Amino acid sequence: MKRLLLLVFVGLTLPAFAQDLTRAQAEKLRDKLAAETLATLKTKRAAEISARSITLGGKTLKWLEKEFGKAPEGKRSLWISMHGGGSGPAAMNDGQWENQIKLYQPKEGIYLAPRAPTDAWNMWHEGHIDPLFTRLIEGMVATRGVDPDRVYLMGYSAGGDGVWQLAPRMADRFAAVAMMAGHPNEASLLGVRNLPFALFMGGEDAAYDRNKIAAAKEKELDALQKADPKGYEHFVKIYKGLPHWMNGKDAEAVPWMAKHTRNPWPDKIVWFQDDVTHDRFYWLEIPASGAKAGQKIVATVKGNEITLEGDVPEKMTLNLSDELVNLDAAVTVKVNGKQVFQGVVKRTQAAIVEALKANPDPRLCPSASLRL
């Protein structure tokens, strides 16, 4: 007699090989597996979070931290604040790092100032920063009760350079960002469609034309928001008469940022690949080999129709949730005007397990996936 293997959790029983879950079943399974994943991470990451030091790929990220206010477990905010400096002796950058921990004071949250792993002009947007920050956020969520929807990024001078670059690359990780006195270099703002972006600059901060570029970027953000009114929320202050140091006035960024929480399931995504590429962005996923600098994909959801436009690679995956579409009904997918799929996308245990394995962020975890 054939035996059935059963999974039993939080009041839900289903065959282990079941492929079709109800919304309630999928949400219970996701919550349970996400909790188990975070519990495992809490054990694995405890030592590095306690030591305030993470090493990946031969690069080490250290940090200073302060705690402000109180919040329920799982609801703490996290503030990552990047210091200035650049090419020069380590002592110079150490001084900037030690100063950064003093600059801002949120009413609530864990405020930390990481030390850049290198002493280079592009210290905050080299390719090793993205995985280091990802691991830092994961560790803080797992071990310190941080809410993944309340993670904020900010930076001054060279740290501001990092905000320009990391915000569009990692927009799906943050609730809001603030750029202080930095230079964007070649960075595009297209990717911050769903990420509130604050920009602060001294009106007399003329080195590298930072003041002129900031004014131009304000106009660019205005134009992007005018063309797409539900996106590109921004707050810009260029302080007349102030140089590179803004006398602490830029601290007004903190209460503005704190008003925002991340939307992990936006109904429109603009994904523009920088020279440091990613294979996942919100609910979009592409093969790592398909990620190329300058690649642009615009994904839009209206009802149960998903439209993809731009440089859409083969074997792209849509990671779906009932927060985005109705998975009890047929989903239609069009790529550059051509219908490529129509049908019901099943909620599955496999989709949840694979998503949490790749990214233990419970709020970004889908219950169904569709490879095109």
**pLDDT higher than 50, residue 18:** no
Instruction: Name the pLDDT band for 5 (thresholds 50, 70, 90).
Output: very low
Mean pLDDT for 197-205 is: 98
- Residue with more model confidence, 289 or 102: 102
What does the pLDDT look like over 22-47, one tens digit per residue?
Answer: 999 999 999 999 999 999 999 999 99
Mean pLDDT score across all residues of the chain: 94
Q: Give the full edge-to-edge strand order of the sheet including 280-281.
A: 280-281, 284-285, 317-320, 368-371
**pLDDT higher than 70, residue 203:** yes
Is 54-258 a domain of CATH 3.40.50.1820? yes
What does the pLDDT look like over 234-249, one tens digit per residue?
Answer: 999 999 999 999 999 9
Contact 369, 316 (CB under 8 A): no
Q: What is the pTM of this model?
A: 0.94
Mean pLDDT for 285-298 is: 95
**pLDDT higher than 80, residue 366:** yes
Instruction: Name the pLDDT band for 15 (thresholds 50, 70, 90).
Output: very low
Mean pLDDT for 120-128 is: 97
Domain extents in the chain: 6-43+266-371, 54-258
CB neighbourhood size of 233 (10 A) = 17
